[in-house]
Amino acid sequence: MLDISPSNARVLLKVMNWDHDRLFLEYSDDPVGISKKAGIDINATQMVSGRKGKGECLICLEDSEEITTLTCGHGYCPVCWKKYLEIQIKEKSTNITCPGLNCGKIIDLFIVSQLCGDKDLIDRFNETLIESYVDDNPFVKWCPAPNCKYAIVLSDFKKEHNESVTCLCNHFFCFRCSEIAHEPSFCKQYSSWKIKNSGGDEALNEKFISTISKKCPYCKKPIEKTGGCNHMHCANCGFHFCWQCMGKFGIGPMGDNSGYSNHVCNAYAKEDSKQLSDTEDWERFRWYAERYNNHQKSKELEAKLLDRVVRVRTNLQEQHCVSWTGSQFFLDGIYQLLAARTILMGSYVFGYFRPIDCPHIHKELFEHRQRQLEQHTELLSNCLEIEDTTQIHLKKSEFLNKTRLVENSYKSLIDVANNAFVETNK
């Protein structure tokens, strides 16, 4: 489109922080000016001029039969070329310029490879170019997961939105701040939450411990949470209750499974207020933190479902003639479940800060969307905990439907918060 060499295009894009539209506009207006700024000559390709000939090396000042001269007129012997390029590559320079005094012309990448003559150095230089592309490009990020070497390209990154992305290693993180995904909360909210949630408050620590073990509210028998679903059924007395609020789950004197559609415990009872005493603020924070920690604990427990994936898919293949591709729904359901837990954690961070940061967001609407996601998440979690392979096979359509409902619900919740992000950043 701009009729320039790939090497020059890379240099210009780097100067423009890899913004293609900006490069096109500025280059169209002033091709000579922007090329001069980037240190390239668009009228001459930086090739080795002619054959290697006899002359004086401008670095060691020794005569040589193999002086290689660039189009800028500066020539050097093979030994000096190699030493110079080796130093530049080891220093991770991505735009290697001619070593001539006050020259500053950038050497074409092809010429660097041609003059270097060392495969290891060339490979190292190419790695540096890739690292530079990722580090300098606002649309590309390295995955922050330990030992992961993948980078993610987000071509439609929007400054007015948080962006949660999933790497090929399945790490789910925020493209903006590289922390774990925390939508719908903003990066600054999540940063403040992390500090507050690790403050060591004794009552808060007790709340966290309670995410692991509680007493049945009916018979008082201790119960340990071993699965991700927050619907609990006491084996001692048969009482159905919600692990988050400890209230009865479902209808009837002992509760039942109907709570998946009618149980509500995600709304903070007190009215919003910007003027809270320290005690009131801590009490409110503990309420949100307990639900955040509950979903975090559920996510940790549900992550163990990944250990079953190979066994379940193998059994489906051997016992029910389901292809490996056809059993992908089970793995997709787990990943969707873990993503939903992450979003729900972020939703309680957002809920805590909402009265201050986003008072224009309708509390009841946000909590309604949040409740929908919680309900569909618990249903999917309950479904994925089925052990019998035959039941999993028979309920494939149910798995797919519940996975789709969770995905649609969390997109709906994110849409509400994205409106808040736009308003906040106007």
Q: Is the Cα dihedral 172, 175, 181, 184 positive or negative?
A: negative
**What is the C-alpha to C-alpha distance for residues 57 and 67, in angstroms, rounded to an integer?**
7
Reported as a single tens digit per residue, the pLDDT across 306-321 is 999 999 999 999 999 9
* Residue-level pLDDT at 300: 93
**What is the C-alpha to C-alpha distance for residues 18 and 270, in angstroms, rounded to an integer?**
49
Contacts of 324 (CB under 8 A, 6+ apart): 313, 317
- Predicted confidence (pLDDT) at residue 35 exceeds the cutoff of 90: no
Report, as an integer, the average pLDDT of 120-138: 83
Between β-strands 172-174 and 164-166, what pairing exists: parallel, antiparallel or unpaired? antiparallel
* Residue-level pLDDT at 378: 94
* Residue-level pLDDT at 413: 92
Reported as a single tens digit per residue, the pLDDT across 148-197 is 989 888 866 555 556 788 898 889 999 888 899 998 998 999 999 988 88
Phi-psi region of 404 (alpha: psi -120 to 50; beta: other; left: phi over 0): alpha
The residues pairing with 56 across neighbouring beta strands, listed in sequence order, are 63
Reported as a single tens digit per residue, the pLDDT across 89-101 is 888 887 788 888 8
- Predicted confidence (pLDDT) at residue 422 exceeds the cutoff of 50: no
List the one residue out of 85, 31, 126 whose CA is nearest residue 9.
Answer: 31
Reported as a single tens digit per residue, the pLDDT across 218-261 is 888 888 777 778 888 888 888 998 888 888 888 888 888 887 87
Share of the chain above pLDDT 90, in %: 31
Residue found by looking up tokens 């004086």 in the block: 56
DSSP string of 162-174, one letter each residue: --EEE-TT--EEE
- Predicted confidence (pLDDT) at residue 356 exceeds the cutoff of 50: yes
Report, as an integer, the average pLDDT of 25-33: 77
Reported as a single tens digit per residue, the pLDDT across 381-400 is 999 999 999 999 999 999 99
Average pLDDT along the chain: 83
Catalytic residue among 116, 229, 245, 358: 229
* Residue-level pLDDT at 51: 52
Chain center to CA of 287: 27
Of residues 183 and 108, more confidently modeled: 183
**pLDDT-based confidence at 211, cuts 50/70/90?**
low
Stretch among 52-56, 341-345, 410-414 having the lowest mean pLDDT: 52-56
Of residues 136 and 248, more confidently modeled: 248
Of residues 32 and 57, more confidently modeled: 57
* Residue-level pLDDT at 312: 94
Q: Is 229 a catalytic residue?
A: yes
* Residue-level pLDDT at 47: 47
Reported as a single tens digit per residue, the pLDDT across 322-339 is 999 999 999 999 999 999
Domains of the chain (ranges; CATH) run: 6-38 (no CATH), 53-134 (3.30.40.10), 139-174 (no CATH), 187-211+266-424 (1.20.120.1750)
Reported as a single tens digit per residue, the pLDDT across 39-77 is 666 655 444 444 578 889 999 999 988 888 887 788 889
CA geometry: angle at 406 spanning 233 and 183, to 5°? 105
Structure tokens at 380: 């999917």
List the one residue out of 40, 23, 4, 11 whose CA is nearest residue 133.
Answer: 11
Of residues 422 and 13, more confidently modeled: 13
